[in-house]
Chains A and B, each alone.
Chain A
Amino acid sequence: MPPAAALRYWAERWQGVVLSLVVVVATLWLGLSGQLGLYIHPRYFVFTIAMAVIGLVLVAAGFARRRTFEVEHTGRFETTLTGVGVVLLLVMGVAMVVVPPTTLSSATATQREVNSGGLGTENDAEQAAALIGTGDFEQLSVREWVSLLAQSSDPAFYADKTAQVIGFVTPDAKDPENVFYVARFVVTCCAVDAQPIGVPVYLPNWQAEYEVDDWVQVTGRFDQSVSAAASDPLAITPVEILVVDQPNDPYVY
C-alpha cells in the first residue's frame, strides 16, 4: 500500500479505536488509583467508569473485527493534513497515558482571577452561617470564609474568630509582594470550569519562605489589611503557617 493510502487507512480504520482505547485506559486507571477527581466532579464517577467498561468491550470488538475496505485517493494537501492530524493526536494520546495526572496550578488561578466566580450561592452562605454558629471556627474551610468575606468586610465581625485554612499559595494580583491567597479550585463539572477561590494572607516578603503552588495550612485572624494596594480590604495576619501535603481531594465541589 503506498504511504498516502496507508495513512488514510490508518485514519479510517484504527484512529478512532486507538484513541478510544487511550481514553478508556486512562479513565479506568484514574478510577482505580482514586485520581479521577483531578479531572471530573464525583457525581460523574459511576457513569464515567460504567461507560469506560462498555467502551473497553467495544474497543476489543473493534480490534477483533476483520474489515477490509478501499480507501479513496486523496490529494497531497489532504494527505499532509491527515498526517499532521494523526501525529498531533498520537502525541496527545501518548501524553494522556504517560504524563502523571496533576491539579491545575496557580498559573490558571491567576489567569481566572481569584474570587471572580465560583461562590455566592445561598447554599454556601447558609453552610457558613451554620458553621459560624457552632463556635468551632476551625471547621470553616476556604469556601466558607470566602462566602463570609463576600457578605461582610466589617473587621469587628471577625475579631474573635481564628481561621485555620488549607490551600495552595497564589500571589495577590495587586500586591504580590505582601499578600498571597490560600486558594482552592471549585469544580462544578470538570477541571475546565474550575474557579479559584481564596482568602488573603498578609505576610510581607512571603516569597522568601514559601513558593507559589505550595500547599499550606494558615492559622490566624482576619484584620484590616495593612496593604493599601491589596485586592481585599481584610486579610489574615498569620500566627502559624505550615507547609502541608496536597490533600487527596484538592478541589472543592
Chain B
Amino acid sequence: MVLAVFVVRALSPAFVDEQLSDFQLPDRVQDTLTLAISVIIESVPFVLLGILLSAVVQVWLPHGVLARHLPRNPILRRASISLLGMFFPVCECGNVPLARGFMVGGFTVSESITFLLAAPILNPITIITTHQAFGWDGHILVARLVGGFLIANVVGWLFSKHPDPQSLLTTRFAAACAVGSTSGHDHAHARESRFSQTTEIFIRETSVIMPALFIGSAVAALTQVFVPRSVLLALGSNPVWSVLAMMALAFIVAVCSNVDAFFVLSFGSTFLPGGIVAFLVFGALIDVKMLALMRTTFTSRTLLQITVVVGLMSAALGLLVNYVA
C-alpha cells in the first residue's frame, strides 16, 4: 500500500506542463487546492508530534502521574496547567491530540480546555518569535502573554462551574475517556506491548484528527480564495474596527501561533496595536481550522461558548491597548 502510493505519486505529472495546459485546473480551484495542501503539510508534522506526546502521556508515563504532581487548589492547578505548554511546544494543532491524551490520562474537562487555550501562546517558540517580530514595542508581547494566560484561566474557571462536564464532550470522546479512566492501561492492555499501544493510539487519533484537519484546511482555503481581503484592510485605522477586522482576519487565515507574529508584523503599519494584539491572542486560540479540530472532542455548543468568551475577551484586550496603552 505504502509503495503503491509512492508509485502513483512518481507517475503523476511533476510540474504544471505547458503542453498539458488543457488539463490545468481553473486558477481559483488550483489556488484553493494549493492553500489547503499547504495548511495540511504545515500542520501534519505538529499533529503527529502531538499524537506521539499524547501516547507518551497515556502509555509511557505511569497513569495519572502528571495530574498527581500538580497543585490541588483548582485555581493554582489550572494556572500551572496553563504553563505546561512551555514543556510541550507542539503548536495549536498538535495540542488537540495532546489535550485529548491529558483527559484520558486523568485531567478534568476544564483543565484540558485551559491547557488547550494557554499552550499556543505560553510556549517558548511563540514567545521567541513574538519577541523577534515586535521586541518590546507597544506592549504587544506583554499584552499577548498576559492576555493569553488570563483568557485560558477565565474560560477554564467558567467551565469548571459546569454541573455536568462530561456533557461538554462529544459522546464518542466521552466514551473513550470513560474506558481510559476505568480500566487504565495497566490492566486492560497489560498483555500488549507499549509499541503496540502507541500504534493503536496513532490509528485511533489519526482517524479522528486527520479528517478534521482536511476539512478545516479546505474551509480555510475556500474562505481565503472567495472572501476579498480588501474589505478587512480598509478598517485598519479605526480603534474599534481595527480590532474586529484583525480578529476576523485571524479567524480566516488560520496561521500557526508559532509564526503568526511575523505574518501580522506586515500589517503593523496599517493597523493599530490593539488590532495586532487581538489578532495574536484570538487567532492563536480560535480559527476555522482549530474549530474543526476541536469539534473532534467538544460539542458544537461548547465550542460556541468558548469562541464567544475568547472573542469578547480578546476584543476587550485589543480595545484596552488601543485606548489606554
Contact = CB atoms under 8 A, between A and B. Distances in A.
B270 interface: yes
A14 B203 CA distance: 8
A118 B266 contact: yes
Interface stretch (A91-99, A130-138, A160-168, A221-229): A91-99
- Among B6, B40, B255, B270, find the residue whose CB has the most chain A CB atoms closer than 10 A: B40
Contact of B13 (A30, A55, A65, A100): A100
Given A39-B34, A104-B31, A33 B255 contact: no
B73 interface: no
A105 B42 contact: no
B25 interface: yes
A63 B48 contact: no
Contacts of B25: 99
Contacts of A15: 206-207, 210-211
Interface in B204-223: 204-211, 214-215, 218, 220-221
Contacts of B34: 38-39, 101-104, 191
B31 A13 contact: no
Contacts of B57: none
B12 A98 contact: yes
Range of interface residues on B (Cβ < 8 Å): 35 or more
A58 B199 contact: yes
Range of interface residues on A (Cβ < 8 Å): 35 or more
Contacts of B229: 111-113, 116
A176 to B, nearest CB: 15
B30 A120 contact: no
Contact of A107 (B225, B256, B259): B225
Interface of A: 11-17, 19-27, 29-30, 33, 36, 38-41, 44, 47-48, 50-52, 54-56, 58-63, 65, 67, 85, 88-89, 92-93, 95-108, 111-113, 116-121, 186, 188-193, 195, 213
Interface of B: 1-2, 5-6, 8-10, 12-17, 25, 27-28, 30-31, 33-42, 44-46, 48-49, 52, 195-196, 199-200, 202-211, 214-215, 218, 220-221, 224-225, 228-230, 233, 253-256, 258-260, 262-263, 265-270
